[in-house]
Structure 1
Amino acid sequence: MLLDRALSHLREVVRVLVCLLQFRRDYRPVHQAAQAGVRESVDNPRKVTDINVSGTVNLLEASKKADVDRVILASSSSVYGKPHSLPYEEAHPTEPVSPYGVTKLTQEHMARVYTELHGLSTVCLRYFTVYGPRMRPNMAISNFVSRCLNGEPPVIYGDGQQTRDFTYVADVVDANRTLLESDAADGDVLNIGSSDNISIQELAETVRDQLAPELEIEYESAREADAEHTHASVEKAGELIGYEPSRTIAEGVGEFIEWYQANRKWYEPLVRSS
């Protein structure tokens, strides 16, 4: 119910933005809207495709008509799929293993086509598992923190050896802010990550050791369509826009735990119900 209300609100926001673009030509849209989540895309591929692909086309079309300078779009490391080599460079083959990854890759292709056909400047940012204050409540980090604070063992899906490159939200914000002013990456795609990947086992242990070291980690069956490993090369983003990760994963997780505890009253119910 809460998710349906949020998606309804998101659709209204997109409609309002499309209307605004008809009257203002000095905007540079930063397109972060999407139905996120691999699991949701497996369960409801039609809905996720409609939101992510059709929503992006609506925004690109409105931006073209309004003749805006640039559109910045949030893509995902999910476009890569199974790694041929690590860390992922932007030229790595894109073979997504989930419907969500397919929608984000389609979004990138749409952006490229609008650039080539209509001269609309676009930049796509491939985020690697964004975390931090106000993060999506159904992510591994938030669930580990919630369970440990409630005296419950962290639960890992799979053997814990899968690895992730987590990106602190402030770094994502900085990259987008830079691109509002810089045309250095127009027509391109950039990885936005930390280059500091960690196994899910190590992540669970990091949270557990800070909050409830007496707890034993539990394991359940791996979830389908989850990528086994992600690891970002951010060399290209560094060269083009001066991007540099500001925190190690351990530092960022520590900050998130502090934020979670300070905002537990309203945030934890979202985590527990996700």
Structure 2
Amino acid sequence: MRILVTGGAGFIGSHYVRSALAGDYAELADADVVVLDKLTYAGNQANLAPVADSPRLRFVEGDICDGPTVDALMAQVDQVVHFAAESHVDRSIVGPGDFVVTNVVGTQTLLDAALRHEVERFVLVSTDEVYGSIEQGSWPEDHPLEPNSPYSASKASGDLLARAYHRTHGLPVVITRCSNNYGPYQFPEKVIPLFVTNLLDGLPVPLYGEGANVRDWLHVDDHCRGIELVRAGGRAGEVYNIGGGTELTNRQLTKLLLEACGAGWDRVEYVADRLGHDLRYSVDITKISTELGYAPKTPFDQGLADTVAWYRANRDWWEPLKHGSS
């Protein structure tokens, strides 16, 4: 079997690729992996360095919006796991155009090619942010989509396109929606690597508003295991939530990060809240748990400690990225 992984040099996609080529997923033990990545600011071939010499890996630098490139690759693969996306909410607020192009037009380009070449499975990796904000309880997969940022709106649009290709053409699409990811190799604009790297450098960290916003934290390894369960056994046309089971306010998370880095609250700078900042996300994972046996395995305290240790030990990875980030 040969699988096309879009965005496979990004944070989550590269973890999936490394795990697949390391033999962590039994059904992919002999599979070839083709990575298509545009290598934008958040895509980094260094993320694939541990498996770069694998004879089962082929890397292609290219854009998911490039029809001829996508078509040529789709003709050579059996399945697709689609990670490639613009994903930073703050960037989407000031520059939404790139998000619409990549997350909507790029997804449609992939779906068209997958349909033409009759791929066996198309997994679209999406986000819990498409649901909007929830005060109490947790979203099931059939909750109406109510995105509140240009990023989440563009992802919701991609989800709906994928659903339409399944309903209209019978394309075997499956959608996953995850909560907030963390772990090694995450680009240092997201909150955990941003705070950790700032604190390690003696810099302040920005906390939105009063830090009351709540997120469910999911280790990237648990997320990718969930994606693999869906790829291997999920029902076509269905959506599966993937969560980590650890809800924290941003203030609680900040406290844990300060403690992990040996810093005090004097390093925190309170900044104006993000426009349209969703108060709380929470996904119900009953469906993936009962149908596919998913459960998060990484305790948050251990996962966070390991993540902080990774950033301490890998300055050579994040310092060049951070210097060039904006």
Match of 1:179 among 230, 252, 276: 230
Match of 2:245 among 165, 174, 195: 195
The equivalent residue for 1:212 is 262
AA of the residue aligned to 1:21? M
8 Å Cα contact 2:65/2:109 also seen in 1 = no
Post-superposition Cα deviations, 1:226-274, rounded to whole Å, max 9, x if no partner, equal 3211122211111122111112332221111111111112213323534
Greater share of strand: 2
- Spell out the pairing of 1:129-140 with structure 2 (5 A cutoff): 129-140=180-191
The percentage of aligned residue pairs carrying the same residue is 30
* Whole-Å separation in 2 of the counterparts to 1:245 and 1:271: 30
Post-superposition Cα deviations, 1:80-118, rounded to whole Å, max 9, x if no partner, equal 112164222222231110111111111111111111111
* Whole-Å separation in 1 of the counterparts to 2:155 and 2:42: 23
AA of the residue aligned to 1:11? D
* Whole-Å separation in 2 of the counterparts to 1:222 and 1:70: 40
How far 1:181 sits from its partner (Å)?
Answer: 2.1
The equivalent residue for 1:11 is 63
The equivalent residue for 2:145 is 94
8 Å Cα contact 2:123/2:174 also seen in 1 = yes
Match of 2:102 among 51, 61, 75: 51
The equivalent residue for 2:19 is none
Moved >4 Å (runs of 4+): 2-7, 12-15
Count residues in correspondence: 270
Return 5+ residue gaps in structure 2 as ranges: 1-38, 45-60
8 Å Cα contact 2:200/2:261 also seen in 1 = yes
* Whole-Å separation in 2 of the counterparts to 1:208 and 1:118: 51
Match of 1:27 among 68, 78, 81: 78
The equivalent residue for 2:198 is 147
Say whether 1:112 aligns with 2:112: no
AA of the residue aligned to 2:74? L
Structure 1 pair 33/10, CA: closer, same or farther in 2 (3 Å)?
farther
Greater share of helix: 1
Q: TM-score, normalised to structure 2's length?
A: 0.77
How far 1:167 sits from its partner (Å)?
Answer: 1.3
* Whole-Å separation in 1 of the counterparts to 2:176 and 2:194: 26
* Whole-Å separation in 2 of the counterparts to 1:211 and 1:102: 35
AA of the residue aligned to 2:215? R
The equivalent residue for 2:7 is none
Larger deviation, residues 82-91 vs 134-143 = 82-91
8 Å Cα contact 2:70/2:109 also seen in 1 = no
8 Å Cα contact 1:195/1:233 also seen in 2 = no
Q: Relative contact order (C-alpha < 8 Å, sep 6+): which is higher?
A: 1
